[in-house]
Amino acid sequence: MTQRLLLATRSGHKLGELRALLDLGPDVELLSPDDAGVRGDPVEDSETFEGNALIKARYFAERAELPVIADDSGLEVDALRGGPGVRTRRYAGEDASDSDNNAKLLRALTGLPPPGRTARYRCVLVYLERPESEPLITSGTFEGRIALAPRGHGGFGYDPIFEPATEPPGGRTVGELSAEEKNSVSHRAIAARAMGELLRGRS
Protein backbone atom coordinates (compact mmCIF):
# COMPACT_ATOMS: atom_id res chain seq x y z
CA MET A 1 0.00 0.00 0.00
CA THR A 2 1.36 3.41 -0.98
CA GLN A 3 2.00 5.86 1.87
CA ARG A 4 1.49 9.54 1.13
CA LEU A 5 3.90 12.02 2.71
CA LEU A 6 3.75 15.79 2.37
CA LEU A 7 6.88 17.87 1.74
CA ALA A 8 6.07 21.14 3.53
CA THR A 9 7.55 23.65 1.11
CA ARG A 10 6.31 25.64 -1.85
CA SER A 11 9.82 26.14 -3.21
CA GLY A 12 10.11 24.25 -6.48
CA HIS A 13 13.88 24.04 -5.99
CA LYS A 14 13.56 22.50 -2.52
CA LEU A 15 10.83 20.11 -3.66
CA GLY A 16 13.02 18.90 -6.50
CA GLU A 17 16.04 18.39 -4.27
CA LEU A 18 14.09 16.64 -1.51
CA ARG A 19 12.41 14.31 -3.99
CA ALA A 20 15.83 13.42 -5.39
CA LEU A 21 17.47 13.02 -1.98
CA LEU A 22 14.89 11.27 0.24
CA ASP A 23 15.32 7.54 -0.34
CA LEU A 24 12.10 6.25 1.18
CA GLY A 25 11.34 3.46 -1.28
CA PRO A 26 8.75 2.90 -4.01
CA ASP A 27 5.82 2.68 -1.60
CA VAL A 28 6.09 6.32 -0.47
CA GLU A 29 4.50 9.07 -2.59
CA LEU A 30 5.97 12.51 -1.89
CA LEU A 31 3.39 15.30 -2.29
CA SER A 32 3.67 19.07 -2.47
CA PRO A 33 1.22 21.31 -0.57
CA ASP A 34 -0.57 21.96 -3.87
CA ASP A 35 -0.83 18.20 -4.51
CA ALA A 36 -2.48 17.83 -1.10
CA GLY A 37 -4.79 20.82 -1.63
CA VAL A 38 -3.30 22.80 1.26
CA ARG A 39 -3.49 26.57 0.89
CA GLY A 40 -1.69 29.25 2.83
CA ASP A 41 1.61 29.27 4.68
CA PRO A 42 2.54 29.69 8.34
CA VAL A 43 4.28 32.70 9.85
CA GLU A 44 7.87 31.59 10.37
CA ASP A 45 8.80 33.72 13.35
CA SER A 46 11.32 31.54 15.17
CA GLU A 47 14.93 32.67 15.53
CA THR A 48 16.21 29.15 14.73
CA PHE A 49 16.03 26.87 11.70
CA GLU A 50 14.69 24.05 13.87
CA GLY A 51 11.96 26.28 15.28
CA ASN A 52 10.81 27.37 11.83
CA ALA A 53 10.87 23.81 10.50
CA LEU A 54 8.66 22.74 13.42
CA ILE A 55 6.24 25.61 12.73
CA LYS A 56 5.93 24.50 9.09
CA ALA A 57 5.62 20.82 9.95
CA ARG A 58 2.78 21.39 12.43
CA TYR A 59 0.96 23.82 10.14
CA PHE A 60 0.91 21.44 7.19
CA ALA A 61 0.31 18.29 9.27
CA GLU A 62 -2.83 19.88 10.75
CA ARG A 63 -4.21 20.89 7.36
CA ALA A 64 -3.20 17.95 5.20
CA GLU A 65 -3.86 15.22 7.80
CA LEU A 66 -0.78 13.47 6.43
CA PRO A 67 2.73 12.77 7.72
CA VAL A 68 4.96 15.73 6.90
CA ILE A 69 8.62 16.51 6.31
CA ALA A 70 9.45 20.21 6.67
CA ASP A 71 12.71 21.91 5.70
CA ASP A 72 14.20 25.12 7.00
CA SER A 73 17.61 26.12 5.82
CA GLY A 74 19.86 29.05 5.19
CA LEU A 75 23.30 30.56 5.05
CA GLU A 76 25.50 31.45 8.02
CA VAL A 77 28.42 33.80 7.36
CA ASP A 78 30.99 34.00 10.13
CA ALA A 79 31.92 37.63 9.42
CA LEU A 80 28.23 38.51 9.88
CA ARG A 81 27.99 36.61 13.20
CA GLY A 82 25.97 33.86 11.59
CA GLY A 83 23.84 36.10 9.39
CA PRO A 84 21.76 36.14 7.32
CA GLY A 85 20.67 32.93 9.10
CA VAL A 86 16.90 32.49 9.35
CA ARG A 87 16.50 35.62 7.20
CA THR A 88 18.48 34.11 4.33
CA ARG A 89 15.64 34.23 1.81
CA ARG A 90 14.61 37.77 2.84
CA TYR A 91 18.11 39.20 3.38
CA ALA A 92 17.66 42.06 0.90
CA GLY A 93 13.92 42.49 1.57
CA GLU A 94 10.65 40.55 1.57
CA ASP A 95 10.42 40.38 -2.22
CA ALA A 96 14.15 40.22 -2.94
CA SER A 97 15.41 38.03 -5.76
CA ASP A 98 18.35 35.66 -5.44
CA SER A 99 20.44 38.22 -7.32
CA ASP A 100 19.41 40.96 -4.87
CA ASN A 101 20.40 38.81 -1.89
CA ASN A 102 23.72 37.83 -3.46
CA ALA A 103 24.56 41.44 -4.29
CA LYS A 104 23.79 42.63 -0.75
CA LEU A 105 25.95 39.90 0.76
CA LEU A 106 28.88 40.67 -1.54
CA ARG A 107 28.63 44.35 -0.58
CA ALA A 108 28.61 43.44 3.11
CA LEU A 109 31.86 41.50 2.68
CA THR A 110 33.64 44.07 0.49
CA GLY A 111 37.38 44.07 1.16
CA LEU A 112 37.46 40.80 3.09
CA PRO A 113 39.97 38.25 1.72
CA PRO A 114 38.97 34.57 1.31
CA PRO A 115 40.08 33.50 4.83
CA GLY A 116 37.63 36.02 6.29
CA ARG A 117 34.70 34.89 4.13
CA THR A 118 34.00 31.50 5.73
CA ALA A 119 30.38 30.40 5.74
CA ARG A 120 28.13 27.39 5.77
CA TYR A 121 24.76 26.30 4.53
CA ARG A 122 22.63 24.70 7.25
CA CYS A 123 19.50 22.55 6.79
CA VAL A 124 17.11 21.18 9.41
CA LEU A 125 14.46 18.60 8.51
CA VAL A 126 11.52 17.78 10.77
CA TYR A 127 9.23 14.77 10.35
CA LEU A 128 5.81 14.68 12.02
CA GLU A 129 3.52 11.66 11.82
CA ARG A 130 0.67 13.79 13.21
CA PRO A 131 0.52 17.37 14.54
CA GLU A 132 0.83 16.17 18.15
CA SER A 133 3.54 13.57 17.46
CA GLU A 134 7.07 13.73 18.81
CA PRO A 135 9.14 15.12 15.91
CA LEU A 136 12.07 13.40 14.27
CA ILE A 137 14.78 15.97 13.53
CA THR A 138 17.91 15.75 11.38
CA SER A 139 20.33 18.40 10.23
CA GLY A 140 23.25 18.92 7.88
CA THR A 141 25.88 21.57 7.22
CA PHE A 142 27.90 22.36 4.10
CA GLU A 143 31.09 24.30 4.84
CA GLY A 144 32.59 26.82 2.45
CA ARG A 145 33.27 30.49 1.83
CA ILE A 146 31.67 33.38 0.00
CA ALA A 147 33.26 34.00 -3.40
CA LEU A 148 34.47 37.42 -4.51
CA ALA A 149 31.97 37.45 -7.40
CA PRO A 150 29.13 35.24 -8.73
CA ARG A 151 30.01 32.32 -10.98
CA GLY A 152 27.79 29.65 -12.50
CA HIS A 153 24.10 29.38 -13.20
CA GLY A 154 23.23 26.11 -11.47
CA GLY A 155 21.39 25.63 -8.21
CA PHE A 156 19.53 28.50 -6.56
CA GLY A 157 19.79 31.01 -3.75
CA TYR A 158 23.38 31.82 -2.87
CA ASP A 159 24.88 28.93 -4.88
CA PRO A 160 26.64 31.20 -7.44
CA ILE A 161 28.65 32.87 -4.63
CA PHE A 162 29.25 29.86 -2.35
CA GLU A 163 32.55 28.01 -2.79
CA PRO A 164 32.67 24.60 -1.05
CA ALA A 165 35.51 24.24 1.44
CA THR A 166 36.87 21.43 -0.74
CA GLU A 167 37.54 23.97 -3.51
CA PRO A 168 40.48 26.41 -3.38
CA PRO A 169 39.71 30.15 -3.15
CA GLY A 170 38.53 31.14 -6.60
CA GLY A 171 37.56 27.53 -7.36
CA ARG A 172 34.15 26.34 -8.44
CA THR A 173 31.06 27.69 -6.75
CA VAL A 174 28.03 25.50 -6.06
CA GLY A 175 26.47 27.27 -9.04
CA GLU A 176 29.14 25.59 -11.18
CA LEU A 177 28.58 22.08 -9.79
CA SER A 178 26.32 19.55 -11.48
CA ALA A 179 23.11 18.64 -9.66
CA GLU A 180 24.62 15.23 -8.93
CA GLU A 181 27.73 16.78 -7.38
CA LYS A 182 25.71 19.16 -5.24
CA ASN A 183 23.31 16.44 -4.12
CA SER A 184 26.20 14.28 -2.93
CA VAL A 185 27.66 16.84 -0.51
CA SER A 186 25.09 19.54 0.31
CA HIS A 187 23.57 20.39 3.68
CA ARG A 188 20.19 19.18 2.44
CA ALA A 189 21.69 15.91 1.20
CA ILE A 190 23.24 15.20 4.60
CA ALA A 191 19.98 15.96 6.45
CA ALA A 192 17.89 13.98 3.94
CA ARG A 193 20.11 10.89 4.11
CA ALA A 194 19.88 10.95 7.90
CA MET A 195 16.09 11.37 7.77
CA GLY A 196 15.76 8.53 5.28
CA GLU A 197 17.72 6.23 7.59
CA LEU A 198 15.52 7.17 10.56
CA LEU A 199 12.28 6.59 8.67
CA ARG A 200 13.39 3.34 7.07
CA GLY A 201 14.40 2.13 10.54
CA ARG A 202 10.82 2.69 11.76
CA SER A 203 9.19 0.60 9.05
Beta strand ranges found along 32-91 (DSSP E): 68-77, 83-84
Q: How many Cα atoms are found within 13 Å in the side-chain-facing hemisphere of 115? A: 0
Q: Please, are residues 5 and 29 in contact by the beta-carbon 8 Å criterion? A: yes
- C-alpha span between 152 and 171 (Å, rounded): 11
CA angle 31, 84, 174 (to 5 degrees): 65
- C-alpha span between 156 and 7 (Å, rounded): 18
- C-alpha span between 98 and 92 (Å, rounded): 9
Catalytic-residue membership of 72: yes
- C-alpha span between 57 and 68 (Å, rounded): 6
Which of these is catalytic: 72, 95, 98, 100?
Answer: 72
Selection from 45, 71, 41 nearest residue 59 by Cα: 41
Q: Which residues are catalytic?
A: 72
